[in-house]
Copies of this chain bind each other. A is one copy, B any other.
Amino acid sequence: MGLLKELERRDPVKIGEELHRFAAELYPICRSITGNGIRHTLAQIHKRIALQITEVPTGTEVFDWTVPREWNIREAYIKDVTGRRVVDFQHSNLHVLNYSTPVRAKLPLSELRKNLFTLPEHPDWVPYRTSYYKEAWGFCLSHNQMLALADGNYEVCIDSTLEDGHLTYGECYLPGRSVDEVLISTHACHPSLANDNLSGLTVATALAELLSGRDLRYSYRFLFIPGTIGAITWLARNHENVARIRHGLVLTGIGDPGGFHYKKSRRGNAEVDQAAAHVLAHQSESSEILEFSPYGYDERQYCSPGFDLPVGCLMRSVWGTFPEYHTSADNLDFIQPRQLAASLRICTALVDVIENNRRYKNLNPYCEPQLGKRNLYRSSGGDAIGEEINARFWVLNFSDGEHSLLDIAERSGLPFSTINEAAELLHQAGLLATFPDPSEGNVPKEESEEVESATGGIHRGRGARTRD
């Protein structure tokens, strides 16, 4: 259980501040599902963890979809008759309908209004809107801004390009003792929205940093990808490899002040589902477990029926249920250092469970072994036994090959860490044998190194350009 213990030795205030500082660094970048915004973002992440970048050309067919043209933008504004910029992309990249086609025009307010998006119920907030797959242009602004627009002609400029290029994603692969993988996926396509999803990007990056260079049971793959089309593209390019994914987690919206929500995988009884429920039940913030539903984040793709991967989704407040969702109010004040640090803690605890969850075999299955003669029991009888000793009885009784440590933790109501420590003690005392770990038979092969390598120069494969 080294990971969580190690994390807990560090100052959580500093961890939170560092996560928030990184979010602040990424905040101004105008990201979209393609283009230089996401490239710039991945470059910043790459300064912290080894990241392999893949560029997939426009027009590439990925299942039922096609990689779109690449979108980039330099500036955009609305000028009134006096030449004053009444709406300016420089102030907030939310002001432009994401994926707007270029436009330069003069038009009266009555015409302009058809291309303006506002939130009347939150008149000071700017909405976030996109039009990835239907050509359109538009501006998002606060409702009060719009009301203040005088009649007359306006000059609009969106200096964007929508041209053949690439879709870009980043991958951080940390090889473990087994090629069986844990997938951590987080979307990197939203512009200046803090909770959605700088929270996911920063926590995933910090988790990858924590895991880097360690002796791990599983291999870990962190994906920093554009939502939907990015996950679909990655799955199309890795169709044969997904069987390696033993556990997976979509990380998103984990910086806001709400309690935790874990949405189960489509399977509903995957080990990651059990582990997440356990970890959330044994921490202090409020939490809720949600059944799988097909709408949401990229678990939609990982859990499509053809893949049906064991991938859940960890959030704080659920998308769409809080007013700040997809508005300018999802800013850096909305994600607090304390909340980011606690989310990283949950992820770390979850990894600890997944790394340590296994089955043991009780070598003395007939009656209890005598713990006292091994100094694993109290010496004087008559009063109550403590949780540590109780955990030993639970592990001994249920180490029958049927029950994993997590099963035993659930059944006993004790934390996984207590059960795991009991198992390690009993194992050292020769009372338990380990079962062969099915994942550990899957050792890395030399020939598969290239694909999984997180080092090396630019890779090209199946029409895509990959560099680290």
Contacts and interface: CB of A to CB of B under 8 A. Distances in A.
Contact of A397 (B291, B303, B412): B303
Contacts of A368: 64, 228, 232, 300-301, 304
Interface string A288-313: 00010111000011011111000000
B397 A367 contact: no
B134 A365 contact: no
Interface in A114-167: 127-134, 136
B133 A366 contact: no
Is the interface on chain A under 10, 10 to 19, 20 to 34, or 35 or more residues?
Answer: 35 or more
A231 B367 contact: yes
Contact of A294 (B97, B306, B393): B393
Contacts of A98: 381
B365 A306 contact: yes
Contacts of A239: 366
Contacts of A231: 367
A388 interface: no
Given A129-B380, A129-B382, A397 B134 contact: no
A219 B199 CA distance: 58
Nearest to A127: B382
A63 B131 CA distance: 71
A333 interface: no
> Chain A at the B interface: mostly helix, strand, loop or mixed?
loop
A367 B133 contact: no
B326 A383 contact: yes
A264 interface: no
Contacts of A390: 295
Interface string A372-387: 1100000111111100
A418 to B, nearest CB: 14
A370 interface: yes
B373 A133 contact: yes
A309 to B, nearest CB: 11
A109 interface: no
Given A63-B367, A307-B366, A300 B393 contact: yes
Nearest to A385: B295
A31 interface: no
A317 interface: no
A449 to B, nearest CB: 27
A63 B366 contact: yes
Nearest to A382: B129
B307 A397 contact: no
28 contacts: A64-B364, A64-B370, A97-B380, A98-B381, A127-B383, A129-B380, A129-B383, A131-B380, A133-B373, A133-B379, A134-B380, A136-B380, A232-B368, A294-B396, A295-B385, A295-B390, A300-B368, A301-B368, A303-B397, A304-B366, A304-B396, A305-B400, A306-B362, A307-B365, A307-B367, A320-B384, A326-B382, A326-B383
